[in-house]
């Protein structure tokens, strides 16, 4: 499992907790998720070093409307570090379905804290998506929407399609000191990580290009 990349300045040699940013446009989704996993915000981990971690470039997540990548974001990406772990047990999430739920929530006026209100928004949006898919005869091509159209039970849908072990998990805290692999972008970062106390043999330099999103 890989801890989603973070700027080196936030790296600590020991246990870390998620940083709460009230201006983070994803915060409503974290608040909604906390109703199921029990904590917010969350620390996210991926089963691979894929684009999910934010360490390498990706087109998997589209840019949010009106969000423009700038030099500051690029600088943060270029300073990121990725931590790899073994046997991390967390609250599971299917990345593809999470992306669907995420975009529904951030496209609404919900702050995610009122689960009844937010789930009503998700239900109504799924109804609309299913209708559109029926209209263009593509409903059966989408497993999630087909399942929704058949049962219209949100709790059942989440358990069957979202909260399943596949490609990512969330946890309330993480001990970076126990990382088995630490991926950074250059020798300067590696030197700083060594000074913090991380084992040199576990530090690997991989300068993958960052695009931001």
The model's pTM: 0.82
Average pLDDT of span 1-6: 82
pLDDT digits (tens, 9 = 90+) for 116-174: 999 999 999 999 999 999 999 999 999 999 999 999 999 999 999 999 999 999 999 99
Cα(207)–Cα(165) distance, integer angstroms: 29
Q: Which two tokens stand for residue 183?
A: 């991926």
CA distance to 142, 145, 184, 185, 198, per residue, from 80 (Å): 35, 36, 7, 7, 16
Q: Which residues neighbour 99 within 8 Å (Cβ) at sequence distance 6 or greater?
A: 60, 61
Give residue 103's pLDDT: 96
More confident position, 85 or 53: 85
pLDDT digits (tens, 9 = 90+) for 10-38: 888 999 998 888 989 999 999 999 999 99
Q: Which two tokens stand for residue 29?
A: 């989704």
Residue extents of the structural domains in the chain: 2-94+163-205, 111-162
């Amino acid at each position: 499992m890989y801890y989603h990349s973070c700027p080196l300045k936030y790296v600590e040699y020991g246990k870390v907790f998620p940083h709460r940013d009230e201006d983070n446009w994803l915060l409503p989704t974290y608040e909604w998720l906390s109703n199921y996993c029990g904590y917010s915000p969350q620390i996210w981990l991926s089963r691979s070093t894929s684009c999910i971690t934010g360490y390498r470039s990706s087109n998997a997540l589209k840019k949010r409307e009106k969000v423009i990548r700038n030099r500051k974001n690029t600088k943060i990406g270029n300073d990121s570090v990725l931590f790899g772990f073994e046997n991390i047990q967390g609250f599971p999430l299917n990345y593809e379905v999470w992306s669907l739920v995420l975009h529904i929530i951030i496209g609404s006026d919900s702050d995610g804290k009122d689960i009844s209100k937010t789930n009503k928004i998700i239900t109504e949006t799924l109804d609309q998506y299913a209708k559109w898919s029926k209209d263009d005869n593509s409903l059966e091509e989408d497993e999630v929407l087909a399942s929704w159209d058949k049962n219209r039970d949100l709790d059942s849908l989440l358990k069957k399609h979202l909260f399943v072990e596949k490609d990512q998990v969330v946890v309330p805290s993480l001990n970076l000191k126990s990382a088995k692999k630490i991926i950074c972008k250059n020798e300067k970062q590696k030197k700083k990580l060594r000074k913090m106390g991380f084992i040199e043999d576990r530090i690997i330099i991989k300068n993958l290009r960052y695009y931001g999103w």
